[in-house]
Structure 1
């Protein structure tokens, strides 16, 4: 199993029975944002003004992240981050779920809703919380409870779960306003360089904006 941000985000976004804690398309937006952030923190891409640019085309060793990097490398004209979210979101979930199944972390279950509509769920292979997810939750909780520097990837993941409104579900016993304030503070205070903090914050804000628009559109359509 890979240790990428997108893998961590995926496990957090599913409960042990394979039900989604994050709706569509927010789940896919979050996965795409996680891959972009992983590439950024690995020094492979950066933001030059408003555009995503490749700073190092060397593979990271993660097949999913490297497939995303290849797509950015092959693009002739630089794009803004929002122009990359949807192209990445179109294929990431399937790739990530498949490798979690292959690694024995999740199992693929097929059934029918109301005995008619086919459904595929990805439940924990053991029936309990995967060990990898437990470790990630522990790291996130330690960051929220601590007052020192937070590892960059942990800070980025906290920003993502906040962006798709998942944080309050992961930490239901915490005050919602205090939780948001702490995550915001971590995002501002735990980066080695202002430029990195601004780039990460921009991607997280973009995910939050796209999620909000999709929710509003769904409400209008179903009303």
Structure 2
């Protein structure tokens, strides 16, 4: 089973290994996905504006379990601080995991015959079936207006937070997508504690995005 971070990473890369969502946005989104996954699993919550570990029981996924251990062993921090801390090196770990499981393929070459580069295209250069399933789930969530399960709603919220919705939903009307993502992000699609945690993480990722964009725009 894919984690939310896996799903976001697959959406962020074309089948030839070209990245469509740049850094630091992807790193922040993946870190947010890890926090959201832990919240949905009942391992963490946000209390008094801080991320709190509810249980240290392992989930069975290295990235998630490592994050949970760090949260449980560290002092209380706000979601924004954890998004920043967890984002470091996370993209490589998620991509390595997808390559090890055979969902993606790891390729190493050199740019201009000098600079080493690692790429993660899909096997055979076609969209992995697991990614197809993710895209179908997202399209149904945005296009149907039906109730959305917590994981899909959380992924929609993260896509919105990292401003990746235009690319993910390129074949759907922009105004419809924006309205529906807002509805999903604000909807009552999970238990209150889980929904609160996901909302706080979404805000944290959005704040990190603004902090990254403003200096670049004014330089």
TM-score range relative to shorter protein? over 0.9
Q: Is the 8 A contact 1:149 1:190 kept in 2?
A: no
2:95 aligned with 1:97: yes
Structure 1, unaligned runs of 5 or more: none
Deviates more, 1:4-13 or 1:96-105: 96-105
Relative to 1, partners in 2 of residues 1:110 and 1:192: Cα closer, same or farther, differing over 3 Å? closer
Displacement after TM superposition at 1:131 (Å) = 0.8
Within 5 Å, give how 1:166-205 maps onto structure 2: 166-205=164-203
Deviates more, 1:166-175 or 1:61-70: 166-175
Q: Residue 63 of structure 2 corresponds to which residue in structure 1?
A: 64
* SS across alignment from 2:95: helix
Displacement after TM superposition at 1:24 (Å) = 0.7
Q: Is the 8 A contact 1:155 1:190 kept in 2?
A: no
Q: Residue 40 of structure 1 corresponds to which residue in structure 2?
A: 39
Within 5 Å, give how 1:111-150 maps onto structure 2: 111-150=109-148
Displacement after TM superposition at 1:180 (Å) = 1.4
2:137 aligned with 1:110: no
User: Over aligned residues, Cα RMSD in angstroms?
Assistant: 1.5
* SS across alignment from 1:123: coil
Displacement after TM superposition at 1:47 (Å) = 0.5
Q: Residue 72 of structure 2 corresponds to which residue in structure 1?
A: 73
TM-score (norm: length of structure 2): 0.94
Displacement after TM superposition at 1:105 (Å) = 1.4
Question: Alignment length, in residue pairs?
Answer: 219
73, 76, 81: which one aligns with 1:83: 81
Within 2, Cα distance between the matches of 1:14 and 1:177?
Answer: 24
Q: Is the 8 A contact 1:151 1:190 kept in 2?
A: no
Within 2, Cα distance between the matches of 1:64 and 1:199?
Answer: 19
Relative to 1, partners in 2 of residues 1:129 and 1:190: Cα closer, same or farther, differing over 3 Å? farther
